[in-house]
């Protein structure tokens, strides 16, 4: 691969002698020694010049600063395809005022009703273009283990793209019925969906085993096939998420809640640390962000880390009503440690400890640096459900459990001087049962009955794509054992 090309280059969190262009980093996904690709610099922006751009133009402009080997014309067209027209119902980074100083930025008006659409509507276009730029004619096989939202968003993003096949594996009985149907009814010629017997870990372990199977890797190389994943360790998934921080901030300025240059806080419901890390990039580029508040659910490994400087994944795993945050190893934290320490050798040591002992401890100086930007908090199941009820009664706002975790943490952390934007990551109707129960109602076995009951109770319309799922044809209902994932991958 070319080294030291002009424009933005990327190095690895575990090796700062590596150099990759943006398209190479996106094609490769993860660095050969296991590190994640990070940009060498944080490009500075002129806020006034960006302020009046629409979402597509803003996305193209910000991405062009990082993806310097992609043409501006391509990025403009890709942003238009991903975010323009009716894709997000005209509601990109839709900001709703709840109370003075407290806002919800709804990121779930895309095709799958979760914020992952922002990354996964664009990422496939970036990957296809990366293949073209690098004259890579291999066939791409994408394997995704999912607990729900990622799988559907990836299927929608990659469907019918030439040269790409995608297979998604979800735990049998491990997703909500709505999430299962979203995947089971997926359209497209290059999509494959399987229920794996066992829990999410069994599905994920099965997929990881395929990725690390040396004999299979040789087989793929011989067949001109490249295996890749669709999770948020890929730079191409992270970069598009920077955009909505700018878009949300500019809306505050436009409504007069802030003067351009005054600071805002962002509070983010966090799992793999990808979404909140995009906010960190926005801040380093010059967006006036005072604090980034990292909200965890009952699986509070991150808030413990914030308080102690010790990351300890040796703990029970809880299944909660905010399943997309049920994560014990937040992969993207590695990127933050690298940027704030400037020391990939140290990061490499910490990640080695994480693999071996499921635990690492950072130096006090690094902990202080992180604390200068980040605040950490958690909300357990009860706090989450109380928040759903409170924000409905007080502000007449319907929040899903992930958003409610962040709202609860934001309320606890607010100082009142600086407006706070809470990232709302999923439609409440993806989790109708949990929301109904939080509002003191009974919820049943049937997600569609729950959806109808929640609509009736609140008068808030459910997204049509969820309501219509009931009528769609089931295309995939095959159950497999985790050991069969390899033969699925072989057939792609
Ligand atoms: C994935 C997801 C999150 C967590 O985002 P990370 O980037 O993994 O921190 C939060 N809420 C919802 C609804 C999600 O799907």
Q: Ligand 1 centroid to 289 CA: how many Å?
A: 20
Supply 168's token pair: 């998604």
Q: Is 413 a catalytic site residue?
A: no
Distance CA 126, CA 123 (A): 5
Ligand 1 pocket mutation pick from 406, 425, 435 by most atoms within 8 angstroms of CB: 425
E-assigned strand segments in 297-429 = 310-312, 359-361, 374-378, 420-424
Task: Using the structure block, give the residue that is written with the tokens 């009716």.
Answer: 86
Q: Ligand 1 centroid to 268 CA: how many Å?
A: 9
Q: Ligand 1 centroid to 331 CA: how many Å?
A: 12
What atom of ligand 1 comes closest to residue 425's alpha carbon? 13
Selecting among 77, 91, 97, 116, the annotated active-site residue is: 116
365: buried, middle or exposed (CB in 10 Å: 19+, 13-18, 0-12)? exposed
Q: Could you give the strand order of the β-sheet that contains 94-99, starting from the edge strand earlier in sequence? A: 94-99, 102-106, 420-424, 264-269, 289-296, 374-378
Task: Using the structure block, give the residue that is written with the tokens 């009664």.
Answer: 393
Would you say residue 229 has pLDDT above 70?
yes
- Mean per-residue pLDDT for 449-461? 96
How far is residue 158 CA from its own chain's centroid? 16
- Spell out the residues 6+ positions from residue 143 whose beta carbon is closer than 8 angstroms to its own: 166, 167, 169, 207, 210, 211, 227, 228, 229, 485, 489
Give the pLDDT band of residue 416 (cuts 50, 70, 90): confident
> In Å, what is the CA distance from 202 to each residue of 289, 388, 449, 467, 480?
39, 32, 30, 30, 11
Q: Ligand 1 centroid to 62 CA: how many Å?
A: 22
Residues with CB under 6 Å of ligand 1 are: 114, 116, 149, 232, 269-275, 324-325, 402, 425-426
Ligand 1 pocket mutation pick from 147, 271, 293, 376 by most atoms within 8 angstroms of CB: 271
Residue 109 · residue 92 · CB < 8 Å: yes
Instruction: Among 5-19, 60-74, 397-411, name the one with the lowest average pLDDT.
Output: 5-19
Supply 382's token pair: 């009860």
Q: How much is the pLDDT for 1?
A: 44
* pTM summary value: 0.95
Q: How much is the pLDDT for 205?
A: 82
Average pLDDT, the chain: 94
- Mean per-residue pLDDT for 437-450? 92
Give the tens place of pLDDT for each residue, 160-190: 999 999 999 999 988 888 899 999 999 999 9
Would you say residue 4 has pLDDT above 50?
no
Percentage of residues in the chain having pLDDT higher than 90: 85
Length of the chain: 492
Domains, the chain, in order of start with CATH, read 94-113+238-463 (3.40.50.1100)
Q: Whose CA is nearest to atom 11 of ligand 1?
A: 425
Supply 432's token pair: 């109708």
């Amino acid at each position: 691969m070319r080294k030291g090309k002009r424009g933005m280059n990327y190095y690895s969190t575990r090796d700062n002698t590596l150099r990759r262009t943006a398209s190479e980093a996106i094609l490769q996904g993860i660095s050969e020694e296991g590190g994640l690709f990070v940009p060498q610099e944080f490009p500075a922006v002129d806020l006034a010049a960006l302020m009046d751009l629409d979402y597509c133009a803003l996305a193209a402009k910000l991405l062009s600063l990082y993806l310097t080997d992609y043409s501006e014309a391509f990025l403009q067209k890709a942003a238009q395809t991903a975010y323009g027209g009716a894709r997000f119902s005209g509601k990109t980074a839709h900001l709703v005022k709840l109370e003075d100083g407290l806002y919800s930025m709804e990121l779930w008006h895309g095709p799958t009703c979760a914020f992952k659409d922002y990354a996964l509507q664009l990422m496939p276009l970036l990957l296809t273009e990366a293949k073209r730029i690098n004259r890579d004619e291999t066939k791409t096989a994408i394997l995704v283990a999912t607990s729900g939202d990622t799988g559907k968003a990836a299927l929608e993003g990659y469907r019918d793209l030439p040269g790409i096949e995608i297979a998604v594996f979800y735990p049998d009985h491990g997703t909500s019925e709505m999430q299962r149907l979203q995947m089971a009814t997926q359209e497209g010629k290059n999509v494959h969906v399987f229920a794996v017997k066992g829990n999410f870990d069994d599905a994920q372990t099965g997929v990881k085993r395929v990725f690390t199977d040396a004999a299979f890797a040789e087989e793929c190389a011989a067949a001109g096939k490249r295996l890749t994943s669709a999770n948020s360790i890929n730079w191409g998934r992270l970069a598009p998420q920077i955009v909505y921080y700018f878009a949300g901030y500019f809306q505050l300025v436009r409504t007069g809640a802030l003067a351009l240059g005054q600071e805002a806080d962002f509070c983010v419901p966090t799992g793999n640390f990808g979404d909140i890390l995009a906010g960190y990039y926005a801040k380093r580029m010059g967006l006036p962000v005072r604090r980034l508040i990292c909200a965890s659910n009952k699986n509070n490994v991150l808030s413990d880390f914030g308080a102690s400087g010790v990351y300890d994944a040796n703990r029970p795993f809880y299944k909660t009503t905010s399943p997309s945050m049920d994560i014990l190893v937040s992969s993207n934290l590695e990127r933050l440690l690298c940027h704030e320490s400037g020391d990939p050798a140290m990061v490499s040591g910490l990640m080695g400890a994480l693999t071996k002992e499921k635990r690492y401890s950072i130096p006090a100086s690094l902990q202080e640096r992180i604390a200068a930007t980040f605040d950490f908090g958690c909300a357990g199941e009860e706090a989450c459900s109380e928040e759903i009820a409170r924000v409905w009664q007080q502000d007449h706002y319907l929040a899903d459990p992930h958003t409610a975790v962040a709202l609860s943490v934001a309320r606890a952390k607010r100082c009142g001087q600086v407006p706070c934007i809470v990232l709302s990551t999923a439609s409440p109707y993806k989790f109708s049962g949990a929301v109904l129960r939080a509002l003191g109602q009974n919820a049943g076995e049937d997600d569609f009955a729950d959806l109808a009951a929640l609509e009736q109770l609140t008068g808030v319309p459910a997204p049509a794509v969820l309501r219509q799922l009931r009528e769609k044809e089931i295309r995939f209902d095959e159950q497999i054992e985790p050991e069969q994932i390899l033969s699925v991958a072989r057939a792609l």
